[in-house]
Amino acid sequence: MRALLSVSDKTGIVEFARSLEAQGVEILSTGGTAALLRRHDIDALDVAQYTGFPEIMEGRVKTLHPRIHAGLLARPGVDDPVLAEFDIERIDLLVVNLYPFEQTIEDPHCSLELAIENIDIGGPAMIRAAAKNYRAVAVATEPADYGDILTAIKAGGIDDDLRYRLAAKAFGHTSAYDAAITGYLHQRLELPGEQRFAATRALSLRDCQPLRYGENPHQAAALYIHDRGKEACIADAELLQGKAMSYNNIADADTALECVRQFYEPACVIVKHANPCGVAVDDDCLAAYRRAHSADSTSAFGGIIALNRSLDGATAEAILGQFVEVIIVPEVQDDAKKLLARKRNIRVLVTGWWDMERVGSVEYRSVNGGLLAQERDIALVNPQDLNVVSQRSPTEHELRDLLFAWKVCKFVKSNAIVFAKDLMTIGIGAGQTSRVHSARLGTIKAADAGLAVKGSVMASDAFFPFRDSIEAAAEHEVIAVIQPGGSKRDNEVIAAVDEHQMSMVFTGMRHFRH
């Protein structure tokens, strides 16, 4: 048996090669891998010596040679005469992982030239050749493969089933690698005019995590990872304790984290069915949690809680007083860990700390037969961006509440209306097919929670098509409104605001969410 080893990730390669050698496997290797093996007294024949052709162009050409590729592609019983004619030996096992392209481009200072030099050519060519000829060749693309291969060899040989599974994995590996390269190069394209998306787009999805089921028990589901490590996110968070995350847990947790990330001050966001049901900002997370929970304690039952500060013992103890599915925090303090351990079923996700400066990226949503792509809605509105359109300007206190409500409204399903007072949601009207019904629902939710809408502000994710929502808010003595503006009836809406001595600002930015 003959194996070719050429790896950039040297994890476990020495031990694996030594075990192969002990099983009588002849080892071929390239440059750095061969030197490493020889330093550990492992007999490895250099590929250049095997092919009779040296590495050239600073290593750009090492394995692109007929003796290598014919050895990988030769079909038993079919190509034997060709191998004999050209004195080519079979290669039965290929162990290759590729230049670290993705790790290289993660460096914000990475130049195009450096990225290009980290595009592997020979590696993918060998992997594809070996995977194509899986009936005769086994291919390993990561250290995790070594154990199964070695066990099979010790048991008498690598069977068809293992070679097939390794081949399927190998093609996925090269596909993801090419997708990463394509994505990087497309990001650098200067597209004309309003064209922000290239004609083709390749996605690299990996690290599949099977889930118990999807939105409903009869639906199979899994979580795939992409853009790992670029910023704090649910997909990359550490599950500190608790049961495995479900499909719905992940979707809700994503909404909670993305919402809480907007706030500089200590904040708490509670989410149920992908809608915020209670949000508050305060001097510390304990106070923020208590106020967010009181905003709609009924909906908070079995909810998802996100905080933007380290979870301390006092806050953990307060949270444990309710039924909660998931807690999301950047960090957990030791006293909180001890308290949480009493309820091991509660899922605790630790995201690590994040930058307030968001990284622009693309999000996707599947439709039957296609995939929608759009830039993530990460834009924030600052006080200087607001256009006061009412006769009365908002007070400083009103302005704080308006901007707070606007941040929350962005994560509520459309049509979305948020009532807020003193940096706390009072009532949230989500997902209604008419805006005025969302406004009415928000007042009903406030009443159910025993909260007064009087003196609160109202945020709307899109413009008011009629003045009816303003009238509904005025019935409850709302004092200020924030909305994008842009309706044909803006003047009627502004007139209604002025009639009720409210203040109103336009943001010029819509936040539909579906």
Q: Report, as residue numbers or ranges, the catalytic residues.
A: 132, 273
Instruction: Give the separation between CA 129 and CA 87, rounded to whole angstroms.
Output: 19
Record the tokens describing residue 246, joined without a space: 């479900």
**How far is Cα 138 from Cα 166, in angstroms, rounded to an integer?**
7
- 71 residue type, one letter: G
For the record, the structure tokens of 283 come out as 């001097």
| Residue-wise DSSP of 254-309 | HHHHHHHTT-SS-EEEEEETTEEEEEEE-SSHHHHHHHHHHH-HHHHTTEEEEESS
Name residue 22's amino acid.
A
Residue 502 CB partners (closer than 8 Å, separation 6+): 390, 392, 470, 473, 474, 478, 479, 480, 481
User: In whole angstroms, what is the distance from residue 323 CA to residue 303 CA?
Assistant: 8
- The closest alpha carbon to 510, from 460, 440, 461, 472, belongs to 461
What is the four-CA torsion angle of 291, 292, 295, 301, rounded to 10 degrees? Answer: -120
d(CA 253, CA 431): 19
The whole-angstrom separation of Cα 282 and Cα 423 is 7
